[in-house]
Amino acid sequence: MSDKRLEITRDACLGLENALAKTEKMGCPENVHPLIFEAEKDGLRSEIKRLKALIKYEERRREMDGGVKFSLGKGKTAEEQKKEAKEDKNKPVKIFLHGREIKDIIMFDGPVTDPDRMIYIDEFGQQAYMKKEFYSDGTPQYVSTFIHDPRGETCCFCGRGWEDSIKSITDYYHLNTAPKGREHAHMECWLNYLRRTDASLFHEALAATRCLIWSGLEEIKNQYGGAWNTPWYKTSITGFVDRSHPDAKDYNKPTPRYAFDPKPELIMGARKRVYSLTLKFPQPVPFPKDEEAVKPLIEDDVTKSIDDNDYSPGEYGDEGSEFMIHAWNDDKVKEYIKAFACILIKSGIAKRTE
Q: What does the pLDDT look like over 162-182, one tens digit per residue?
A: 887 888 888 888 877 655 556
Portion of the chain with pLDDT greater than 90, in percent: 9
pTM over 0.75: no
Antiparallel, parallel or unpaired: β 212-214 and 183-185: unpaired
| Whether residue 252 has pLDDT greater than 80 | no
Q: How confident is the model at residue 154 (pLDDT cuts 50, 70, 90)?
A: confident
**CA dihedral sign of residues 324, 336, 309, 304:** negative
Check whether 147 has a pLDDT greater than 50.
yes
Going by C-alpha positions, the residue among 262, 309, 317 that lies closest to residue 290 is: 309
**What residues have CB less than 8 Å from 35, skipping those under 6 apart?**
none
Compute how many other C-beta atoms are within 10 angstroms of the C-beta atom of residue 201. 19
Does position 313 have pLDDT exceeding 60, yes or no?
Answer: no
Q: b/e string for 303-320 if b means 16 or more Cβ within 10 A? A: ebebeeeeebebeeeeeb
Mean of per-residue pLDDT scores for the chain: 77
Residue 334 has pLDDT above 90, yes or no: yes
